[in-house]
A and B are shown apart, each in its own frame.
Chain A
Amino acid sequence: MSSTNISSRERVLNLFNGRTIDRVPCFSGMGNITTAGLKSLNYKFATVHLDAKKMADAAATTHKYFGFECGVVPFDLCVEAEALGCEINVYAHSEDILYPTIRKKVIHNEDEMELSIPENLHEKGRIPLVGEAIRLLKDDIGNSVAIGSYVLGPFTLAGQIMELNDLLKLSFKKPDRVGRLLDILTEVIIIVAKEYEKAGVDYITVREMGATSDVLSPRVFKSLILPYLKKIFERISVPSVIHICGKTNDIAPFMVESGARAISVDQKNDVAETRKKLGKDALIFGNYDPYNVLVAGTPEIVREAIKRCIDDGVSAVWPGCDIWPTVPEDNFRAMMDIIQEYRR
């Protein structure tokens, strides 16, 4: 089979499976819908989080419009927290693009950290809705591209369900107590990931940006966070990615040690150095700046940034965070074009 004929889906799956591929794919494990896509569907941003069909439709547009090599749902970071009883705000009043946030947390004091997992968690909140969206998305574009979803990492999820301020201080003062909460949340995350697997996702990203080295020391990352990440990746059956933004050079080896198939880093990571440190076989996804390059840049700036990622040795060209929806169409196309042309 000629390599140019393989589908994006095969390319991505081959990459995860360690096979040789013709070029680096250009995809993401995080949200990537665009206002161009939303406009074509006539959907308001605030509505796509609450309706499986709208969610799937919106997620498919980035591939249909620009040839982006994946489809990913959901788009917000509140699914697990909501299933645990937090109240979310989707900013229904707003015409602007505002991602849902947690309005009411479930842990208000130290005692409430002894959380019990709701029965039938997999039926709570929007977990079934995201599962349904995965199925619809798979029916729609699943033959052409890999379908992904994401869950939060345990520390980041803890920061959603209790005051981050308290969590951070306790992670220093009472790491055992925080550890117990992370252990419970690890179970939660596994339950959610299993639902998404059942719905048919091809890969799952675990987003643990709360544990970035901008916030937590690499030492605390290793002692407090890493053991739970290992537990999670042991249980995820499909190809997996660990994503952490901000400073990650010092913890990149721990990210690999977590057992994730690939690591995802943002523009603050020196990928050339990370590549040297981790060796040629490690899957490193990254690391263009989704706002300053893709939205605020020009097609020329985009091309240069993407070349730089490839030169530095990324295994996949992949954004440092969610793609900001207002990305200019010319910039997106410039990225997809340079991927075809440029080789390291």
Chain B
Amino acid sequence: MVTEEKKGEILERLKKAVIEYDEDAAKDAAKEALEVGVDAAEAIFNGLVKGMEEVGRLFEAQEYFVPELLMCADALYAGLDILKPHMKKLDLGVNGSVVIGTVEGDVHDIGKNIVKMMFDVAGFTVYDLGRDVPLDKFVEEQLRTDSDLVCLSAMMTTTMVGMKTVIDKLKAKNPNVKIMIGGAPVSQDIAEKWGADGYAKDASNALKDAINMISSLRKMRDEAEAKKASK
């Protein structure tokens, strides 16, 4: 059994590796975590994710910029790749799957990849359509995978209007699907106007929003079933 002290030290190293974008340190700490018997989920959430939370704070404070963020994400994945196979199915109260992609006309995928990382961490099944994705593809993929959530990203004003088309089509086919949009030109105002369920200003908000949305979806289903049962 690993001592609390040792565990604390390893978690701290995982956190620090992410903050200091040190992929090798993340790998070493992740391997050692498994060797000494730290629970993989705990190593992810109290180590790597803690580090990413601090990165988010540094980003907000404009101490870190996108290059640092990308390198921190690499370090997180370096640890995650080692830990994830050993993670027991997480009980976050959600068991979601998500379709994610950047809309057609937009070849920028950095924001989308950061959001995707948060879903990976949280144990979602992620269907990543990549970038420059034809609008109908989002609808097809949602139907095919029956995902709870669709995330659309656009980096430029000139492409974000495509998101409205996708929202309309998705809602027409499946009114229960939750849709989250994000990207530099997107605002809360636009999200509301276009009928999106969530809006991610940045990656750290995206995860919180995603979990809230899935929870509310389950609630809706439960209510519908309770209604059926009472008849």
Contact = CB atoms under 8 A, between A and B. Distances in A.
Interface of A: 89, 91, 94, 96-99, 101-102, 164-165, 168-169, 171-173, 213-217, 220, 246, 290-292, 296, 321-322, 324, 326
A335 to B, nearest CB: 17
B157 interface: yes
A102 B132 CA distance: 10
B157 A290 contact: yes
Contact of A171 (B67, B106, B108, B165): B67
Contacts of B161: 97, 291, 324, 326
Interface stretch (B118-126, B174-182, B186-194): B186-194
5 contacts: A98-B105, A164-B108, A168-B110, A214-B184, A296-B190
B107 interface: yes
Interface of B: 62, 65-68, 70-71, 74, 104-110, 113, 132, 156-162, 165, 184-185, 187, 189-190, 193
Top 3 closest A-B pairs, CB basis?
A: A98-B105, A172-B67, A168-B67
B68 A172 contact: yes
Nearest to B160: A291
The winner among B158, B162, B185 for most chain A CB atoms within 10 A is B158
A215 B69 CA distance: 10
A35 to B, nearest CB: 12
Given A169-B67, A216-B66, A322-B158, A292 B107 contact: no
B40 to A, nearest CB: 27
Contact of A215 (B65, B106, B157, B159): B65
B158 A168 contact: no
B188 to A, nearest CB: 11
Contact of A324 (B66, B106, B157): B157
Nearest to A320: B157
A126 to B, nearest CB: 18
Nearest to A166: B70
A271 B21 CA distance: 36
A169 B193 contact: no
Contacts of A216: 65-67
Nearest to A247: B62
Contacts of B105: 91, 96, 98-99, 101
A98 B159 contact: yes
A198 to B, nearest CB: 29
Given A101-B105, A164-B108, A292-B189, A321 B65 contact: no
B184 A168 contact: no
Given A91-B105, A101-B106, A168-B67, A292 B187 contact: yes
Given A168-B70, A324-B157, A296 B193 contact: yes
Given A322-B158, A324-B161, A101 B132 contact: yes
A98 B104 contact: yes
Contacts of A321: 156-158
Contacts of B108: 164
A220 B190 contact: no
Contact of A96 (B113, B162, B185, B193): B162
Contacts of B107: 101-102
B190 A292 contact: yes
Nearest to A167: B67
Contacts of A322: 157-158
B62 A169 contact: no
Contacts of A214: 66, 184
Contacts of B165: 96
B65 A324 contact: no
B63 to A, nearest CB: 9
A213 B63 CA distance: 11
A290 B20 CA distance: 39
A172 B71 contact: yes
B158 A99 contact: yes
Given A292-B190, A324-B157, A168 B66 contact: yes
Given A96-B162, A102-B107, A169 B71 contact: yes
A8 B228 CA distance: 69
Nearest to B109: A165
A321 B185 CA distance: 11
A101 B187 CA distance: 24
Given A169-B70, A215-B66, A216-B66, A91 B104 contact: yes
